[in-house]
Structure formats: structure tokens, C-alpha cells
Structure 1
Amino acid sequence: MLDTAMQTQLKTYLANLREPIELVASLDDGPKSAQTRELLTEIAALHDDVSASFDGDDARRPSFLIRRASDPAKWVRFAGLPMGHEFTSLVLALLWAGGHPPKVAPELLEQVRNLEGDFAFEMYFSLSCHNCPDVVQALTLMAFENPRVTATLIEGGAYQAEVEERGVLAVPATFLNGEPFWNGKLELAEIVARLDTGAAAAAAEKLSARPPFEVLVIGGGPAGVASAIYTARKGFSTGIAAERFGGQLNDTLGIENLPGTAYTEGPRLAGELKAQVDANAVELINLSEAERLEPAADSGGLHTVHFAGGGRLQARSLILATGARWRNLGVPGEAEYRNKGVAYCPHCDGPLFKGKRIAVIGGGNSGVEAAIDLAKIVGHVTLIEFDSQLRADAVLQAKLQSMGNVDILTSAQTTEVLGDGTRVSGLKWKNRSTGEEQQIALEGVFVQIGLVPNTEWLKDSGLKLSQHGEIVTDEEGRTSLPGIFAAGDATTVPYKQIVVAMGEGSKAALSAFDYLIRNEPLAQAA
């Protein structure tokens, strides 16, 4: 199961074990069980403190426990093989079971240990999902830190019947004590906040107690990070408040158009940006959703940003870089069948539609790339484009047209997503040339029609927004309000690209620098 390089790498990691761990497998006679036996045998051979047994009695077969030998009440179970994106999760589970300390803030670990109640988590992942490891690793860590938390992590492709029965059509999908808990990516702090009812008030109080920043950046994507690095290097006290650090990067797989970097992936780039933020002493306040902006009354005064949960932050200058999110179709059935066949991430959810009929809505680069990727997995793809022709790059169009299980519909307007009450069964579309309405039988719909700016929270702030909700900026990143600047996908700057966002973020930071040195702080900000 493990090639020589992986074995060497894993052996190096296992040298960090501080106490023995046990791998206990529940197997049947199938090929997946044979692979599981092979994997666990290879792992056990790499370190004397790892033992493997194959006499487990769990109903899910194949599956295996990883548990601490000295404290068997702390365990995590993998049902299916945690390879692909989840190999790192397997390595971390082994290390944490063996007493290797996690790289997590001590106060967050203490919060996990103090959770009251019994929490039995089941979480479904796919091996191609780049959002799933965060959830897998968070639940794994909780299980090893608190004996009242258990985590069973299930590879959906290995348990297709179970996935069908529970209506899982999007991953990561997490259940708690047998009931749906959350669909989508969650970080450890987010999970704990949902379980610890007293955490929100404490977090709000802590947030409001922080002294004012000279520069506060709202948003943790490429634009926001570039801004923060520039102002911090100018010597200004700088903070980033982000709903989700990394922004859209967390949902982006291959990146091949960033100058100087031949290829990277979004989560990896987000990690590199986080390291740069830390290196420049930028204070990161993650998982903070901006809810209302209260601009300063005078130049040199303090702008106030209010956050969901009741906390607030103040700063002499603001850089708004809240980015954008996937645009919805806005047709009947879309909201009702989200995560029940309507999906937005082909990399994450594509494997759940293996052999099935799906549609991709959108003929730009994102839509055509999604259709190409999905055509390798699903039974049939229908690409639906509103315009009279596809808008993707010619090389992508040629690749798509060469695939035998793809139909392309242009001048096609999606009018309704159909379902049977529990999952998608098809969609309706109208031929924009003839007015004829038609219907397609489907099991999944992937929406890839562009982005909408995250600016709803600014509508009553006095800040000028475009008719599309974008923050209006000038050539220097200034907004309509003094001391407030903006950059990235949330603004009117054309071409929503990573490299453009980084450049605009740097520009906004330089403009903020110019503003700060020309405007003396009022006494309240001194």
C-alpha cells in the first residue's frame, strides 16, 4: 500500500511517538479489507510502539481503530482507506494517539477537554476533497483530547450504500449523535464554538477588549494578507479579522497562473500566507464575521467594526478585503436541494456522483474545468451555458468537446432544479433562441456561474457600492469614506484573480500608509 518514499516519510514521523498505540481492524473477505490489512501491517512494521490486530468486531468492514494503549477510551476510527488527501490525517492521528503534542493554541485545547456531554461524531469524506482533511483532523484531535468525544471517519466511496441511505450528496458531511451536524468545512475552533454555548460571549468580550489598531484589515484572502504585510512592514500595528483565513483559496485546487510559481494549490498557498502573516507580527483574529461598519466621525478618529456575536474592533484606518463567494442560480429548487444534489465544489463532491448523470451550470473557465474533471468520474455531464457560446479558454473548450460523455447546451437558461423531496432528480431549462422549455433527468447539479461580493454588511455604512454590490474604489484603492480602503474581489476592480488581488491589496496598504502619516490621531486613538 505504501511505496518506499511514503514508508520512509512515515517512519520518520513515527519516531516522535511518546507511548504505544494500537491499530485494531474489523475486516471481511473483500479486497478493501485486504488492502486495509496490508496498510496496517506495513505501518506496524515501521515502529516498535505500533501494534496491529485484526480481530475487531465493528459492523463497518473494513474499518480500523487508532487508540492510545494506555488510555483505550480515546480513539478514532477510519472506515475505508485514508489515502489521497487524507494520508496526512492518518499520520496526525497516529502521532496524536502516541502522545505527540498538536500544534494548537493551549486555550483551545483546554476548551476541548472541558466540553460537557457525550459527542459521537460520524463524518463522511472523499479522497479527492481538499476541504475534508480540516474536519477529519479537528474531530480526530477532539477524540484524543476528550474521552467523551468519539470520531468515526468514513470514506464515502467505500460505503456507497450508507451514503445513499443517509442522503449524503456533499462532503465533508458531519453527523453528531446520529443527527446531521454540519455540511461543509469546519475548523476546530468553529466546532468547539458550536458545542460550547458559553464560548461566544467570552469571545466577544475578548474581542472588544483589544486596543485599537492603526490598520485593521477585514478579510484574510490574498488581498487582505498582502495589505497586512505591507502595513506591518511600515511599522504600523496591524490586525486581520477574517471570517475564514485564506478565503476562496481554501476551495481552490490547482493554481498555475501565479507568476513565479509554476504550480501550487489553494490550501497550500493559504498556509504560506499564514506563515508570512505570523512572521510579520500581524495579529490574526480568525473566525470573525463582520456584521456592521461604523465609520469614524472625523479624520484621525477611530472606525469601529462590529462582529457577529457582539464583539467589536477599532482602528485608525480600515482595508476592506472581504472577497466574494459562489453565485447562486436563484431558481426554484436550488436552496431546497443544496447538499442534496446541488453542489458548488466539483473536487469535493464529484466522487459521490460516480456513474451518475449530472449537469454543470456555467460555460466560463470554472464551469468547463469542472465539467472536464467530472466527466472522468460520473456517467454523463450536460454543460449548460446561458450565453450563445462558451466563454472558457479555447484549449479547455477543445478538451471538453473531445470527451465522449459530455453534451453542451448553449443559449440555455436554467429555470428550476427538480427533486423528489429528498434529492435532485433533474432540472428544467429554456432554449433562449426558441423559447422552448425542456427537462433533463439528473442526479446532481454543479453550479459554476461566478461570484458575488461579500458586502451585504456594508449597505447601511454610508460606503459607496456599485449596482452589483461591489465596493467602489479609485485607482489608489480609496473608498468613498476617508481612512477606509478596499481591495480584491469585493471591489469594482476588474479581473477577479489571485495576482490582481495581491497587487490591489498592496496598493490599498500604501494608500493607507499615506493617509496615516498625513492625519494625526485624535486623542482617543493615541
Structure 2
Amino acid sequence: MLDATITAQLKAYLVNIREPVELVAALDDSTKGRELGTLLDDIAALSDLVSVITGDDARRPSFLIRRASDHAVAVRFAGIPMGHEFTSLVLALLQVGGHPSKAAQDLIEQVRALDGPLHFESYFSLSCQNCPDVVQALNLMAVLNSQITHTAIDGSLFKSEVETRQVMAVPTVYLNGEVFGQGRMELAQIVAKLDTGADAKAAEKLSSKDAFEVLVVGGGPAGASAAIYAARKGIRTGLVAERFGGQVLDTMAIENFISVPHTEGPKLAAHLESHVGEYDVDVMNLQRADALVPAPYEGGLHELRLANGAKLRARTVILTTGARWRTMNVPGEDQYRNKGVAYCPHCDGPLFKGKRVAVIGGGNSGVEAAIDLAGIVAHVTLIEYDSQLRADAVLQRKLASLPNVKVITSALTTEVHGDGVKVTSLSYKDRNSDQLHALELEGIFVQIGLVPNTEWLRDTVALTPRGEIEIDHRGETSRLGIFAAGDATTEPYKQIVVAMGAGSTAALSAFDYLIRLPAELSQAA
């Protein structure tokens, strides 16, 4: 199961285990069952503190990782946690084995104080880049608190269970048998949902912070770049983000980041976070901006209001809030979101194995999604509004070579239909004849571009009709002391490398603004 490189890396990690760990295997005679047995034996061979024993569980193949001296410290994987989940497996081995977590101590104490019983089940796919954060957070909670249990389930391996529970998006989390949440969630977000007083505590702590000289709002490539450039100037820098990494976290393959021929979004986001962490930047993650009140005079303090009620003050603000997936805005889309309507083919594609799906959008994202899905599903119909596809020629040639893909152009999606539980079809209009058509299917993947995350700024800075923040060549907005960069702005090219350059430009402009303020203005509060 493990090649020589992974074996060497895993052996190096396992030296951090402090207490004996048991891998309790519940296997069957299937191919996957035999593969899992081989994997567990391979792991046990790398450490004297890891052993394999036979156990039982309703889900097979599965295995329990438990501390030999305290069986309450345990997590379970139903399936074979390779691919994106291999890191989750390694962390579970280490944490069950007594290696301390790097999570913030106050967050660890919050988890330990939670009342149970709390029985979590999370459904993942091995190709989902968002799932590991959820799996790892829930595993850590189970290790820290004996009243919490967690089973991570490979949805593609337990298809009958997925269909019975109507799981159509990953990650999906159940708590005590009821749906708890879907999509990417970090430890702090999960704890906040369970600890109703967490928001108030966080707001009080944030509001007590001293004013920043530069406050970056957004944690994507532009925000990370802005924070680094500002901090390198030796000025007090803060960064507040709803999720560090932003849209990059939802990007699978990145092949145009200069000097790096290939990487993946979550890996790049981790590198960005690590780089920011090397500087004196106060990172306030998992915080959503709600309003921005400009300073009453030049050199005064702007006030950023967060959704939890906290208020942050700053001499300058750099807006790098990025963008999100554009929706079709048709009847049925919201009703069947995560019930057949999806926006991440890499994450949710495996759940539609052998089924019929549609991809909405004929740009690069749409065509790439159709190509990826064609290797998993029974049939893909790509629907494009324009009279021709807009994707790169090389992608169009690849798409045309696939036998289970049909392309429909000059088509407008008009409605998503379902049976109350899941998607069953969609309707589209032929824009040439105005004739309506119905397409029976089980999944719809929407890939029609991005919308800037700027609704909360409508009364603060000048925006275009599309909602983009208007900036000049220095990243300046219509308000003194407020700058912007990245996909939320009028910058025409929405690219990672462009956003990084724009973020550094905005930070340098903010610094230039600060040093040119009269002393009496820059020091006034």
C-alpha cells in the first residue's frame, strides 16, 4: 500500500508517538478490505508502539485507532484514508498516541469543557480538498474529550449508506444522527456551533485589541501578500479573514503560479499561512466582516465591525475579500443545494459515480469540471449560455474526445427540479428557438464564474455595477486610507499571481500614506 517515499516519511512521524496505540481492524473479504489490512500491517511495522488487533464494527472495512492505556481516546475510519485524507490518518495516529496538538490552548480547553455525549459521523471523499479540515478537527475533539466520538466515512465506499441518508455533498457531518453541517469547517467553527457563548467571548477579546496601523480584511493570496509587505515595514499589522486561504482552498490544480509548475490550492493556502506566520501579524481567522465605518478625518481610525459584534480599529485598511462562486439564480437551486446542486466537482464528483450529471458553464472551469467528471459519472451534459465554448482550445479538444460527454450551447438554464429530497432534472431554454427542454439527471455542477464579496461595502467605497471595488494603479479606493486588492476589485485579471502583486502594491501604498500623514493626524485617535 505504501511506497518507499511515504513509508520513510511516515516512519519519521511515528517516532513522535508517546503511548502505545492499537489499530483495531474490522475487515471483510473484499478487495478494499484486503487493502486496508495491508495498510494497517504496514503502519504497525514502522513503530514498536503500534499494533494491529482484530475487532468488530457494523461498517466494514473500517478500523479504530485507540490508545492502549485508555480506550476512550479513539477515532474510527470507515474506509481507507489515503489521498487527501492520509494526513488525517497520520495526525490521528500521533494525537491518539499522545503527541500534543498545535491548536490554540484556549480552543483546546473549550473542547474539553463540552458536554456530551456527542457522536459525530463525517462523510468524505478522497478527492475532496475541504474534507481533511473537518475530519482532523473532529478527530482532535474525540481525542481531547471522552464524551465525543468520531467516525470518518468514505462516501464512495459506503454507497448504500450515502444513498439512504441522501448525502450528496462532502464533507457532510452528522451529530447524534442528525445533520450538523456541510462544507468546510475548522475546529473553531465547530466549537462555536456547540458552545453558544463562544461568539460573545471572542467578540470581547477582539474588541479589546489596540488599533492597527494596517488592517487587512481577507486571507487569500492578496491578503497574505499585503500582510507580509506591511509587517516587513515594522508597523502594527492585523489580518482578519472569514477563512484563511479564501477561494484558493476550493482550487484543485494550479499550474500557472510562476516558478511552481504544479501545486494544489490547499497546499498553497497552507504555505501562505505559514509565510504570514513568520512575521508579526495578528491573524484573526474565522471572522466575518459586517461593516466598515471610515475614519471621520484624514489620519483618523477606521472601524471594522465583525458579524459577532466585535469592533477593530485601524489607521489604514486593505480590502482583499475576494470572490465566491456565482449561482444560477433559478428556481430550485437553493432548495437543492448540496442535494444534487454542487459547486466543487473535485469534492462531490465521487458521490455521483455511475450517474448522469450536468455542468453549467463553458469556460475553463466548466470544461475542466466536465473532463474530470467524465471519468467518474455515467454521462455529462455541458450547458453553455453562449453560442460557443469559451475554454482554452486544448481543453476543448480533450472534451471533444470523451465519448460520454454532450455539449449544448446557446442554452439558458431556467429551473432545477427535484422530488423534495434530491435533484431529478433541470430545464433549459434553447436561446435560438425559445423552446424549453428537460434533462433528467442526478447532479448539477455550477461553474459560471465569480461574484465579489463586497455587498457589505456598498455604502463605504465606490463599487462598479458588478460590485467590484474601484481602485487606481496604487490600490487606492474612493476613501482616504482605505485600499483594496485582488478578485474583489476592478483588476481585470483574476489570477493568483496578479492578486499577490496587487496585495503588495496596496500594502506599500498604505505605508506610503501613513508616513506622509502629519504627525498630529497620525497620532490622533
- Counterparts of 2:209 and 2:524, CA distance in 1: 13
Tell me the CA shift for residue 522 of structure 1.
3.6
Partner of 1:266: 265
Q: Please say if 1:15 is aligned against 2:15.
A: yes
In 2, Cα distance between the equivalents of 1:64 and 1:499?
A: 42
Contact kept, 8 Å, 2:361 with 2:447, in 1: the verdict is yes
CA contact 2:299–2:522 (8 Å) conserved in 1: no
Q: CA deviation at 1:5?
A: 2.5
Flag the 1:515–1:248 CA change in 2: closer, same or farther, 3 A.
same
Unaligned runs of 5+ in 2: none
Query: Cα deviations across residues 403-458 of structure 1 (Å, max 9, x unaligned)?
Result: 11000000000001111110011100000011111010000000000000101111
Tell me, in whole angstroms, the C-alpha distance in 1 between the residues paired with 2:146 and 2:271. 34
Are the aligned partners of 1:204 and 1:311 in contact in 2 as well (CA < 8 Å)?
A: yes
Aligned mates of 1:116, 1:471 — CA distance in 2 = 45
Alpha-carbon distance in structure 2 between the residues aligned to 1:400 and 1:100 = 47
- 8 Å CA contact 1:212, 1:525 repeated in 2: no
Q: Distance in 1 between matches of 2:114 and 2:376?
A: 41
- Residues 375-418 of structure 1: CA deviation (Å, up to 9, x unaligned): 11111000000001100101101110111100000000000111
Q: What pairs up with 1:183-332 in 2 under 5 angstroms?
A: 183-332=182-331
Query: What's the CA shift for 1:523?
Result: 7.4
**Corresponding residue of 2:122:** 123
TM-fit CA distance, 1:470:
1.0
- DSSP 3-state at the match of 2:470: coil
What is the CA distance between 1:6 and its match in structure 2? 2.2
The answer for the alignment partner of 1:514 in structure 2 is: 512
> C-alpha separation between the residues in 1 aligned to 2:191 and 2:370?
36
TM-superposition CA deviations, 1:314-341 (whole Å, max 9, x none) = 0000000100000000001100000000
Q: Secondary structure at the match of 2:300?
A: coil
Q: 1:341, 1:287 → 2: CA distance?
A: 27
**What is the TM-score when the length of structure 1 is the normalising length?**
0.98
Give the root-mean-square deviation of aligned CA atoms.
Answer: 1.1
For residues 57-68 of structure 1, what are the structure 2 equivalents within 5 Å?
57-68=56-67
CA deviations on 1:240-280 (whole Å, 9 max, x unpaired) are 00000010111111111111211111111111111211112
The answer on whether the counterparts of 2:382 and 2:407 sit within 8 Å (CA) in structure 1 is: yes
SS in 2 for 1:95: helix
- The answer on whether the counterparts of 1:289 and 1:307 sit within 8 Å (CA) in structure 2 is yes
- Aligned pairs for 1:36-75 (under 5 A) are 36-54=36-54, 56-75=55-74
Q: Structure 1 residues 252, 525: CA separation in 2 closer, same or farther (over 3 Å shift)?
A: farther
Deviation (angstroms), 1:3: 2.3
- Aligned partners of 1:162 and 1:457: how far apart in 2? 41
Deviations 1:273-332 (A, max 9, x none): 112111121111101100011100000100000001110100000000100000000001
Secondary structure of residue in 1 paired with 2:158: helix
Aligned counterpart, 1:496: 494
TM, length-normalised to structure 2: 0.98
- Secondary structure of the residue aligned to 2:81 is coil
Amino acid corresponding to residue 51 of structure 1 in structure 2: S
Letter in 2 for 1:473: I
Map 1:104-503 → 2, pairs under 5 A: 104-461=103-460, 463-503=461-501
Native 8 Å contact 1:78 1:154 kept in 2: yes
Q: What SS is found at the alignment partner of 2:156? A: helix
* CA positional deviation for 1:44: 1.6
Further displaced range: 30-39 or 431-440: 30-39
How far apart are the structure 2 equivalents of 1:340 and 1:523?
53
**AA matched with 1:477:** G
Q: Percent same amino acid at aligned positions? A: 65
- Does structure 2 retain, via aligned residues, the 8 Å contact 1:224–1:321? yes
| TM-aligned CA distance change 1:316 to 1:523, over 3 Å | closer
Distance 2:499 2:268 in 1: 14
What is residue 31 of structure 1 aligned with on the other side? 31
**C-alpha separation between the residues in 2 aligned to 1:442 and 1:169?**
13
2:478 corresponds to which letter in structure 1? Answer: S
TM-superposed deviation, 1:525: 4.3
Do the aligned partners of 2:360 and 2:447 also contact (CA within 8 Å) in 1? Answer: yes
Deviation at 1:189, TM superposition (A): 0.9
In structure 1, how many angstroms separate the alpha carbons of the residues matched to 2:176 and 2:423? Answer: 26
* C-alpha contact 1:242 1:288 (8 A) present in aligned 2: yes
CA distance in 1, matches of 2:380, 2:170: 20
- Give, in angstroms, the shift of residue 105 of structure 1: 1.3
Count of matched residue pairs:
524
CA distance in 2 between counterparts of 1:96 and 1:235 reads 37
- Report if the CA contact (8 A) 2:217-2:239 is conserved: yes
Contact kept, 8 Å, 1:23 with 1:40, in 2: the verdict is: yes
3-state SS, counterpart of residue 486 of structure 2: coil
Report if aligned partners of 1:316, 1:525 keep a CA contact under 8 Å in 2: no
Distance 1:406 1:470 in 2: 35
Deviation at 1:524, TM superposition (A): 6.5
AA in 2 matched with 1:239: G
Q: Distance in 1 between matches of 2:485 and 2:38?
A: 51
Tell me by how many angstroms 1:57 deviates. Answer: 2.4
The whole-number CA distance in structure 1 between the counterparts of 2:337 and 2:361 is 17
Q: Residue type matched to 1:17 in 2?
A: I
SS at match of 1:259: coil
Amino acid paired to 1:453: P
Measure the CA separation in 1 of the matches of 2:101 and 2:472: 45
Quick one: which amino acid aligns to residue 150 of structure 1?
T
Contact 1:299/1:483 (CA < 8 Å) preserved in 2?
Answer: yes
C-alpha deviations, 1:1-48, integer Å up to 9, x for none?
A: 222322222222111110101111122332222222222122222211
Q: Is the contact between residue 359 and residue 442 of structure 1 (CA under 8 Å) also seen in structure 2?
A: yes
Distance 1:278 1:30 in 2: 45
